[in-house]
Amino acid sequence: MVILLVGCGKRTHLDKVIIDSVQTLQTKQVDVPVPLGANIQPNLVSGVSLGYTWVVPIADAVGYYQVEMVQLGWKLENHFIGPLDELMIFEKPYRSAAVSIKSDLKDKAVTVLILIKYKN
């Protein structure tokens, strides 16, 4: 389940684009977790991708996805670790998901980008 909190008042066009994109991901059965407190980045949202910032240490974000993706039936296939970023590749029978987590030391936050690929 994806939870998106949008401010009170009149919806802007940007709010509608974000909501439509998240709903598109949901209708395509993209079962990837998005934590509470995530700040969705509109320029990183499409029908098969979702990006957001989250104010947590990178280790916490990585741990979150290692636990939550497995609970949703994904299998961790590869995990690449860099100095300020990590990339995890998860698989399901007909889909794969790449979860990229990049640390921003200045803001003490991470940027998470999730890409879904449907297999033939």
**Concatenated DSSP letters for 32-69?**
----TT-EE-GGG--SSEEEEEE-S-HHHHHHHHHHHH
- Residue 5: inside a domain, yes or no? no
Q: What is the pLDDT of residues 3-54, one digit of tens each?
A: 444 444 455 655 555 555 555 444 444 588 999 889 998 888 887 889 999 9
Half-sphere exposure for 99 (CA within 13 Å, toward CB):
28
Is residue 2 within 8 A of residue 35, CB to CB? The reply is no
**Could you tell me if residue 113 is inside a domain?**
yes
Is residue 2 a part of any domain in this protein? no
* Structural domain count, the chain: 1
The predicted structure's pLDDT at residue 8: 46
What's the pLDDT score for residue 16?
A: 58
Phi, psi of 29 (to 5 degrees): 60, 40
CATH of the domain at 58: 3.30.310
Question: Over the stretch 70-114, which tens digit does the pLDDT of each residue have?
Answer: 999 999 999 999 999 999 999 999 999 999 999 988 878 999 999
**Which residues form the domain of 17?**
13-118
Rg of the chain over CA atoms, in angstroms? 14
Beta bridge partners of 50: 114
pLDDT value of position 42: 87
What pLDDT shows up at residue 26?
A: 47
Phi, psi of 67 (to 5 degrees): -85, -50
Whether residue 6 lies inside any domain: the answer is no
DSSP bridge partners of 106: none
Q: Give pLDDT, residue 13.
A: 59
Q: Does residue 4 belong to any structural domain of this protein? A: no
Q: Facing residues of 108 across strands?
A: none
CB of 36 within 8 A of CB of 52? no
